[in-house]
Amino acid sequence: MTAIDLSTSTSTHEVLNQPPALADYNLYTTDSVLGELVAREGAAWAADELRLFGQHLGRADVLALGELANRFVPELRTHDRFGHRIDEVEFHPAWHELMRLGVEAEVHALPWNRRRPGAHVARAVKHYLLTQVEAGVLCPLTMTFAAVPALGAEPAVAGEWVPRVTSARYDPRLRPASEKVGCLVGMAMTEKQGGSDVRANTTRARPAGGGVYLLTGHKWFCSAPTCDAFLTLAQTERGLTCFLVPRWTDDGERNRIRIQRLKNKLGNRSNASGEVEYLDTWARRVGEEGRGVPTIIEMVNHTRLDCTIGSAALMRQALTQALHHASHRRAFSRLLVDQPLMKNVLADLALESEAAATLVGRVARAYDGAGDDQARRLRRILTAIGKYWVCKRGPAMVGEALECLGGNGYVEESILPRIYREIPLSSIWEGSGNVICLDVLRALAREGETLPALRQELARSRGADPRYDAWLEEIEKELADEMTLEARARRVVERLALALQASLLLEHAPPFVAEAFLAARLAGAGGHEYGTLPPEVDVDAIVERAMPANSTTT
């Protein structure tokens, strides 16, 4: 047998023209928009804390946790080896490490633990940063965060549970809440016959004495069924009522919460979502009987805020991946980032990302104005507008960012397929597009000073640019035609969202960013797809502003 002379053989495995891995960079300090937002919206006191969090999350080993948590998805164990019903879900250690990072950073509780101006903004930025590593863990963290205002409707329950759910210690053990150092709260609202129409729920609750109720029914979606307790809705003789359903009863017995199956979802795969059944399940009332929707609405508003934050964060991570790839990949003898058409695409994506993050910062600041009537009114309307628009823009933007990487973006080794599967969730969770748009109309029509508060907010930039002023005039015409308003709800909310983003960019962003946004989004000089910015836009400045660090910047 003739030996092969390896010294003269041609290698086909030399890796050429591939970008280095994007790792060991600071997710916070390499995002100039985020740093400006923190300073502007009242959270400058948290800048050092955010810098350290961003540095830790950008480490290669931490970024790898998201991939592991999605590769090894949660598994349901309904029974133990002896046949006892246990209803437990097993997670990969990567999931628990990400949860620990989130809890210790108080992503679930920062404003409740540190009641100071800017706390909601600081917490929103932490949410934004952690989402870029793995969005699945934000589901239980968000619901725990959002449960606190709802629990306040029942002081006795709040006094017992709020200290548990605001603890900055992660405790994944399945134990009675009284034996744990920290607890999490989930949500079980949706039923298969009702969907968003929770008033059609059929789960029943009957009093059992001593403030305890027994619930019987089936919940089509239970978000994070491994939590220590769940806020849920059930019918009493006086109507739909809110309840807290713990995993264990006060007697130390496992509560009768049967996890029937885990949902096989498009994305959000690291997180467990399931169907659960209540069979005379032990529960405590939260709020008055028959007042379930008003009781739960503050939880809903806070979760909608987080849907907006999460979408903006995934948009930023997709943009970061596209910019990094284009800065290293060559085609036709030039770097992609130096090619005019690609630069137009990247600048358009950067514009979308900055507008989304800027709106998120403004909405979060409205939550910091706890006792301010203007902030309360703005909080009500801005949350819904932001939730609709940012979440709607996300999927198309991520798809375009994925295309910037070509086939490299389509393979599972890239983070982009995971983001692409994840990002539609925020449009669906806590009210899909139509539900949110109708909620905006309801807020504008029925809630007194909401529309004047919105007009006042938009008036801040009146006179700064004639294109913006013309846009506001068109909005007033849209609102004046009440006969067909419901059918035009999406158009109206879209125009309101663009007005809010334009106003904020005119006030706070560099002129080249505001000019590009007004030209492309308000004046109609851009096209329907990304990468159609008009020639007068300074795409070089926009791309440079958005560019992340490529290696070890801390």
* Residue pLDDT, tens place only, 20-65: 999 999 999 999 999 999 999 999 999 999 999 999 999 999 999 9
Instruction: Report domain extents, the chain.
Output: 32-151+163-172, 185-294, 304-544
User: Alpha carbon of 325 to those of 335, 402, 533: distances in Å?
Assistant: 10, 10, 21
Give the pairing type, strands 185-188 and 229-236.
Answer: parallel
pTM of the complete model: 0.95
Fold agreement between 185-294 and 304-544: no
Average pLDDT (279-285) is 97
CA 386 to chain centre: 11
Q: What is the pLDDT of residues 309-334, one digit of tens each?
A: 999 999 999 999 999 999 999 999 89
Burial bucket for residue 40 (CB in 10 Å: 0-12, 13-18, 19+)? middle
Angle, CA 57 vertex, CA 53 and CA 62 arms, to 5°: 145
Write down the pLDDT at residue 193: 81
Using CA atoms, how far apart are residues 490 and 485, in angstroms rounded to an integer? 9
pLDDT at residue 551, rounded to an integer: 34
**Distance (Å, rounded) from C-alpha 224 to C-alpha 300?**
16
Q: How far is the C-alpha of 137 from the C-alpha of 94, rounded, in Å?
A: 11
Quote the Cα angle for 241-245-246, to 5°.
Answer: 160
Per-residue pLDDT for 373 more than 70?
yes
Residues 389-420 as b/e (b if ≥16 CB within 10 A, e otherwise) read: bbbbbbbebbbbbbebbeebbeeeebbbbbbb
CATH class of 185-294: mainly beta
pLDDT confidence band for 449 (50 / 70 / 90): confident
pLDDT given at position 554: 34
**Using 50, 70 and 90 to split pLDDT, how confident is the model at 14?**
confident
Q: What is the CATH number of domain 304-544?
A: 1.20.140.10
More confident residue, 522 or 449: 522
C-alpha torsion 111→113→116→117, nearest 10 = -10
Task: Write out pLDDT tens, residues 496-507.
Answer: 999 999 999 999
Q: What do you get for the CA distance between the two ends of the chain, in Å?
A: 57
Summarize the chain as % helix, strand, coil (round to 5). Answer: 55, 15, 35
The token pair that represents 1 in the structure block? 């047998």
Residue 12 has pLDDT above 80, yes or no: no
